[in-house]
Chain A
Amino acid sequence: MTQAAALLQNLAAAGFVALGVAIAYRWYRERGRAQAMLALALITLAVVAALGRVGDPQHPLAVLSLVEIVGFLLSGYFVLLFRNEFIPLGSFAFQAANLLLAISIVVGILDVTALAHADPRVATVIVLEIIGAWAIFTGEPIARFWLASRNLPAVQRARMRFLSFGFAVLIAILFISVLGGSALRSPTAIVVTELVVLMVIPAIYVSFAPPALLRRIWRMGEEDELRAAIQDLLIFSPTREVLAERAATWAMRLLGGNAAFITDPDGKFIANAGIDPARAAHLMAEQRKNPLGAPDRVVAVPLPLTDGQGSLGVVAGPFSPVFGTEEITQLRAYASSVSAGLERARVTERMAAIESNKTQFLNLASHELRGPVTVIRGYVSMLEGGLLGHLNDRGRKAAAMMSAKASEMNELIDEMVEAARLEDGGLTLKLVESDLRDIARSATFSVAPLVDSRHQVDLDLPERRVRVKVDPDRTKTIIANLLSNAIKYSPNGGPITCHVRARAGIARVAVSDHGLGIAPQNLHMLFTRFGRVITPETEHLKGTGLGLFLGRQLARLQGGDITVISVPGKGSTFTLHLPSASAAEASANGATSSAHGAAGEERVHTNRRSTD
C-alpha cells in the first residue's frame, strides 16, 4: 500500500509536470497575456509538484523547500493575475494581494530557516498560512469566474467551470491533507487523494486546451437551442438587418466567441455583435495579412450571397476554446443557412417595397383623380341646375347620367384612398355603440338607386336592438357593398335578402342573392386586393376589386370578419360577423387593434401589414 501510495504520488507529480509542459507549449503557440498568466500558474505548480518528489521527504533541503514554497505561492498569485487580466482587481485588493504574497514569502523563509525545528503546532500554523494565502489567491478567481461564467456562451461557460472546478478540488485536497493530520498520512488516504489529484489534472488541462470532442459536447446544448430557434431566426426575422444581427449572435454562442460579425460582399458590415465595425475590420485585415500569426483568434467563413461573397466571422474571447477544423466546418454549415435566410429577407424586403410603392401609387393616383372629378361633378351639377343655360330633355338625361357616373367614380376613388390608408396604417376607426339594425337600414337605403324592377331587396330585422360597437359609416359601407355586389352579380334578378341577427355574442348581417354564384376554386380571390373573379358572365361588370378586400379588412379591424357560402348558378351568401357590444368591450384590446379612448370615441389604428 505504501508503495502504491508512493507510485501514485510520483504519478501525480509527473502529471503536473506533463500539464506544465503541455501548457507551456500551447502558450508558446498562442501567446496572449491572460494565457501567459494561467500558463505560469500551472507551470510553477508543476515545478512545485516535481520538486516535492525529489530528495528525501524526511530530510528536505532548505533551498528546495524555499523554492517549493515560493513557487507554490506564485502559482496561486498567477491565477489571481490571470483573473486580473479580464476582470481587473481594484487597486486596494491588488495591494492587499501583494502584501499577502510578501508576508507569506517571509513566513516561508522563516519556516525553512529559523523555525525549521520549531514546535509542530507552529509548523502547522505556518503551513496553514501559506496554503491559506494560496487558497485566497486561487479561491477568489474561482468564485469570480464561476459567477461571471453564468452570462457567457455555453462553450466558454463550460471551459471556465472546468478551470474553477480543477482549482477548487486542489484547494480542497491541500486543506484536507494539512488539517486531517496523521489520519490522512495513512497510505490508503494518500492513495485516495492522489487518485483525485490525478483526475483533476486532465480537468485543468482541458480548461486550458479543450480537445475537439469536448468542445463538441460543450456545444451540444447551444446546437439544440439553435435547431429550435433557426426557423424563427431565418424565416421570421422582420428585416435583413435584424436577421443578420441575430445570426451573428448565434454564431458567437455556437463557437463560444466573444463577438461576431457579418459583412456584405462589398465588405460593408451588416451585423456586429459585441464588436465595433472598425475593430472587426482590423481583425479581418490582420487575419488576411498573416493567416498564421494569430491562429484561432478570429475565424471567418465565406457567406455566399447573390451579389457575391460576404463573410461570417467569430472573434474569440479570453475564455473561448480554440477554433479548430471542427468549428470551421460547423460555422460553414451554419453560414449556408444564414445565406439562405439573408437572401429570403432581401426578397421579402423588395416585395415589401413594391407593395409600398403600390400603396403610394394608389394614394397619389386617387388624390390626383379627385381634382378632375371635382370639376366634372361641379359643372355637371351646374348643367343640371340650369346655371349654364337651359337643357333639352335629352341634355338633361345626359347630365343626370354623367352626374351618376361622376358620383360612382368618386366612390371608387374613396375606395382606393381607403385601401391605401389601410395599407399604410393611416386608417382611423371611430367606434360608437350603435344598433346594427339602423346601420343595415341606411345601407339598404343607400343602394336603392341601384335596384331596378328585376330586383327586390328584403330587409329582415329582429325585433330587439342589435348592439354593436363599430364605426357606423364604415360598417354601412361594408353592408352597402355586399348589397351592391348581390345586385350586380344577379343579372337575372331574384330576391336579395339582408338578414340581421345576434346570437351568442356575435351579430351577423347575411346578404343572400340568387345570382351567378362563385366557383369554389375562385373563392380565395374574392378578398384579395384587386382580386376579381372574371368569368364570361361577369367580365362586363365593372369594379375595382377593392370592395370585399376593404370590407373584410374593416370587419377584422372591428373584431369581426366576412365569410361566404356560394353555389355556382344558385347564388351566394356573404355574412358580416361583428362582436356584440358586450363582447366587443372584452375584445376591444384584441390582437388586431389597440384602442385609445378619446372624447367619447375610440380610435383603432391599423398596423402595416406584414408581407410574409
Chain B
Amino acid sequence: MPAGPLEAGILARWQLSGRGSPAHVLMIEDDATIADMYRVQLEHDGYRVTIATTAELGFTTMTANPPDIVLLDLLLPDRSGFEVLASLNERFPSHPPVVILSNYGEPAMIDRGRSLGAVEYLVKSRVTPADISGQIPTWIELGRRGGQGES
C-alpha cells in the first residue's frame, strides 16, 4: 500500500498550525453523536480535536488551550451560538476563525452570523465531515489573512 495522500495531508496540517503540532479544532456542539462523528473524521485527517458541549466549556478551552479554528453550533444548552460569537469578539479580539454549523438555514440567521464575523455559515445536513475537514486549511488561512488585515 503506497504511503500516499493521507500522510501528505497530515504533514500539511502539521505545518499549517505553524507550531510544529497538528492544527487544533474546537467544536462547540451539544449533540454528542454529531460531535463524535466529526471527531472520527477530523482526527483521522490529523487534527487535534476538542469537543465542548456547552458555551462555557468552549470558553474554558479558548483560554486554556487556544484552538486554530472553532466549529460553532447555534443551539447550545447555556446560550445561543450568536451570543458565543459576540462574547468571543469581545473577550478574544484576535480569536481564530469561526465556522457556524447549524440546523437552521434562515437567511436572517446567515446574515447575522456573517455580520458577527463568522467566516462561513453551513447547514449541517448539507455537508459531510469530509467536506468540513477538507475546508479547514482554507478557513484557517482565511482567518490568518483577515486577522492581519485587521491589525
A binds B: yes
A residues sitting closer than 8 Å to B (CB atoms) are 367-368, 370-371, 373-375, 377-379, 381-382, 385, 387-388, 410, 413-414, 417, 421, 426, 428
Assess whether A417 is in contact with B34, with CB atoms less than 8 Å apart.
no
- Shortest A2–chain B CB gap in Å is 94
- Shortest A112–chain B CB gap in Å is 88
B41 in the interface (beta carbon within 8 A): yes
Stretch from B14-22, B49-57, B58-66, B122-130 that touches the partner: B122-130
Assess whether B106 is in contact with A410, with CB atoms less than 8 Å apart.
no
B105 in the interface (beta carbon within 8 A): yes
Measured between beta carbons, the chain A residues less than 8 angstroms from B34 are 371, 374-375, 378
With A and B bound together, what is the CA distance between A385 and B134 in angstroms? 13
Assess whether B41 is in contact with A382, with CB atoms less than 8 Å apart.
yes
Residue with the highest number of chain B CB atoms closer than 10 Å, among A368, A371, A378: A378
| Top 8 A-B residue pairs of the complex, sorted by shortest distance between their CB atoms | A381-B128, A374-B124, A370-B103, A370-B125, A373-B125, A428-B107, A374-B125, A378-B37
Assess whether A370 is in contact with B129, with CB atoms less than 8 Å apart.
no
Measured between beta carbons, the chain B residues less than 8 angstroms from A378 are 34, 37-38, 41, 128-129
Assess whether A375 is in contact with B33, with CB atoms less than 8 Å apart.
yes
Measured between beta carbons, the chain B residues less than 8 angstroms from A410 are 125-126
Measured between beta carbons, the chain B residues less than 8 angstroms from A426 are 106, 108
Assess whether A413 is in contact with B130, with CB atoms less than 8 Å apart.
no
B79 in the interface (beta carbon within 8 A): no
Measured between beta carbons, the chain A residues less than 8 angstroms from B107 are 428
Also in contact, A387 and B44, with CB within 8 A (given A371-B103, A375-B33):
yes
With A and B bound together, what is the CA distance between A370 and B105 in angstroms? 11
- Shortest B89–chain A CB gap in Å is 23
Measured between beta carbons, the chain A residues less than 8 angstroms from B103 are 367-368, 370-371, 374
Question: Which single member of A370, A379, A417 contacts B37 (CB below 8 Å)?
Answer: A379
With A and B bound together, what is the CA distance between A245 and B123 in angstroms? 46
Assess whether B129 is in contact with A382, with CB atoms less than 8 Å apart.
yes
Question: Which single member of A367, A375, A377, A428 contacts B104 (CB below 8 Å)?
Answer: A367
Measured CB to CB, the nearest residue on chain B to A406 is B125
Measured between beta carbons, the chain A residues less than 8 angstroms from B11 are none
- Size range of the interface on B? 20 to 34
Assess whether A387 is in contact with B40, with CB atoms less than 8 Å apart.
yes
Assess whether A375 is in contact with B37, with CB atoms less than 8 Å apart.
yes
Also in contact, A381 and B31, with CB within 8 A (given A370-B123, A373-B125, A428-B107):
no
With A and B bound together, what is the CA distance between A460 and B19 in angstroms? 57
Assess whether B41 is in contact with A387, with CB atoms less than 8 Å apart.
yes
Kindly list 14 other residue pairs between chains A and B, CB separation below 8 angstroms, not including A374-B124, A378-B38: A370-B103, A370-B123, A371-B34, A371-B103, A374-B103, A374-B125, A375-B33, A378-B37, A378-B128, A381-B128, A387-B40, A387-B130, A388-B40, A426-B108
With A and B bound together, what is the CA distance between A417 and B125 in angstroms? 13
With A and B bound together, what is the CA distance between A447 and B6 in angstroms? 33
B residues sitting closer than 8 Å to A (CB atoms) are 31, 33-34, 37-38, 40-41, 44, 103-108, 123-126, 128-130
- Shortest A405–chain B CB gap in Å is 13
With A and B bound together, what is the CA distance between A414 and B31 in angstroms? 21
Measured between beta carbons, the chain A residues less than 8 angstroms from B106 are 421, 426
Residue with the highest number of chain A CB atoms closer than 10 Å, among B33, B105, B125: B125
Assess whether B125 is in contact with A413, with CB atoms less than 8 Å apart.
yes
Question: Which single member of B31, B41, B44, B128 contacts A377 (CB below 8 Å)?
Answer: B128
Measured CB to CB, the nearest residue on chain A to B111 is A428
Measured between beta carbons, the chain B residues less than 8 angstroms from A377 are 125, 128
Measured CB to CB, the nearest residue on chain B to A387 is B44
Measured between beta carbons, the chain A residues less than 8 angstroms from B129 are 378, 381-382
With A and B bound together, what is the CA distance between A91 and B37 in angstroms? 86
Measured between beta carbons, the chain B residues less than 8 angstroms from A381 are 128-130
- Shortest A425–chain B CB gap in Å is 12
With A and B bound together, what is the CA distance between A413 and B34 in angstroms? 18
Measured CB to CB, the nearest residue on chain A to B36 is A375
Assess whether A385 is in contact with B125, with CB atoms less than 8 Å apart.
no
Measured between beta carbons, the chain B residues less than 8 angstroms from A421 are 106
With A and B bound together, what is the CA distance between A387 and B124 in angstroms? 19
Measured between beta carbons, the chain B residues less than 8 angstroms from A370 are 103, 123-125
* 29 A–B pairs (Cβ distance < 8 Å), ordered by A: A367-B103, A367-B104, A370-B103, A370-B125, A371-B34, A371-B124, A371-B125, A373-B125, A374-B103, A374-B124, A374-B125, A377-B125, A378-B34, A378-B37, A378-B128, A379-B37, A381-B130, A382-B37, A382-B40, A382-B41, A382-B128, A387-B40, A387-B44, A387-B130, A414-B105, A417-B105, A421-B106, A426-B106, A426-B108
- Shortest B86–chain A CB gap in Å is 23
With A and B bound together, what is the CA distance between A548 and B33 in angstroms? 35
- Shortest B77–chain A CB gap in Å is 15
Assess whether B130 is in contact with A385, with CB atoms less than 8 Å apart.
yes
Measured CB to CB, the nearest residue on chain A to B38 is A378
Assess whether A382 is in contact with B125, with CB atoms less than 8 Å apart.
no
- Shortest B4–chain A CB gap in Å is 13
- Shortest B32–chain A CB gap in Å is 10
With A and B bound together, what is the CA distance between A410 and B124 in angstroms? 10
Assess whether A382 is in contact with B130, with CB atoms less than 8 Å apart.
yes
Measured between beta carbons, the chain A residues less than 8 angstroms from B44 are 387
Measured between beta carbons, the chain A residues less than 8 angstroms from B128 are 377-378, 381-382
Measured between beta carbons, the chain A residues less than 8 angstroms from B124 are 370-371, 374
- Shortest B71–chain A CB gap in Å is 13
- Shortest A375–chain B CB gap in Å is 5
With A and B bound together, what is the CA distance between A388 and B41 in angstroms? 9
Measured CB to CB, the nearest residue on chain B to A427 is B107
With A and B bound together, what is the CA distance between A387 and B9 in angstroms? 14
Measured between beta carbons, the chain A residues less than 8 angstroms from B37 are 375, 378-379, 382
Assess whether A371 is in contact with B123, with CB atoms less than 8 Å apart.
no
With A and B bound together, what is the CA distance between A382 and B41 in angstroms? 8
Measured CB to CB, the nearest residue on chain A to B126 is A410
Measured CB to CB, the nearest residue on chain A to B45 is A387
With A and B bound together, what is the CA distance between A270 and B72 in angstroms? 49
With A and B bound together, what is the CA distance between A468 and B87 in angstroms? 43
- Shortest B73–chain A CB gap in Å is 10
Measured between beta carbons, the chain B residues less than 8 angstroms from A417 are 105
With A and B bound together, what is the CA distance between A414 and B104 in angstroms? 10
- Shortest A394–chain B CB gap in Å is 22
Measured CB to CB, the nearest residue on chain A to B103 is A370
Measured between beta carbons, the chain B residues less than 8 angstroms from A367 are 103-104
With A and B bound together, what is the CA distance between A417 and B123 in angstroms? 12
Measured between beta carbons, the chain B residues less than 8 angstroms from A379 are 37
Measured between beta carbons, the chain B residues less than 8 angstroms from A385 are 130
Measured between beta carbons, the chain B residues less than 8 angstroms from A387 are 40-41, 44, 130
Measured CB to CB, the nearest residue on chain A to B129 is A378
With A and B bound together, what is the CA distance between A607 and B34 in angstroms? 36
With A and B bound together, what is the CA distance between A410 and B126 in angstroms? 7
With A and B bound together, what is the CA distance between A287 and B41 in angstroms? 80
